Amino acid sequence: MKRKALVGMLMTYLVLGAMPISCGIENGDFPIKMPDELPTGQKLVKTGEEIVNQKYIRGLLPHYISCNAYIYSFKPYEPSVVYPEQISITVCAFNSENEAKSELQNLVISNQNTILLSDFVSKHQKELEEYPSYSECDIPDVCIYGRFGHYDALLFPLGKYVVHIYEVTYTGSIAPHLPEIAEAVYTLNAEVAPKEKTPGFDALFAVAGLLAMAYLLRKNRK
Q: List the beta bridge partners of residue 163.
A: 91, 156
At a CB cut-off of 8 Å and minimum separation 6, what does 40 contact? 180
Lowest-confidence segment of 17-26, 28-37, 91-100, 211-220 by average pLDDT: 17-26
Stated pTM of the model: 0.70
Average pLDDT, the chain: 75
CA 168, CA 182: separation in Å to the nearest integer?
14
**Quick one: pLDDT at residue 54?**
78
Name the nearest CA neighbour of 164 among 45, 38, 71.
Answer: 71
Tell me how far CA of residue 110 lies from CA of 10, 59, 144, 216, in angstroms. Answer: 48, 11, 14, 55
Q: What is the mean pLDDT of residues 198-207?
A: 44
Answer yes or no: is pLDDT of 183 > 60.
yes
Answer yes or no: is pLDDT of 167 > 60.
yes
Q: List the beta bridge partners of residue 144.
A: 115, 154
Model pLDDT for residues 30-88, shown as the tens digit of each residue: 568 888 888 778 888 888 777 777 788 999 999 999 988 888 888 766 555 556 678 88
Answer yes or no: is pLDDT of 16 > 50.
no
Eight-class DSSP state of 198: P
Lowest-confidence segment of 11-20, 100-109, 136-145 by average pLDDT: 11-20
**Quick one: pLDDT at residue 27?**
37
> What b/e sequence results for 169-182 when a residue is b if at least 16 CB atoms lie within 10 Å of its CB, and e otherwise?
beeeebbbbbbbbb
* Residue 13 exposed, middle or buried by CB count within 10 Å (0-12, 13-18, 19+): middle
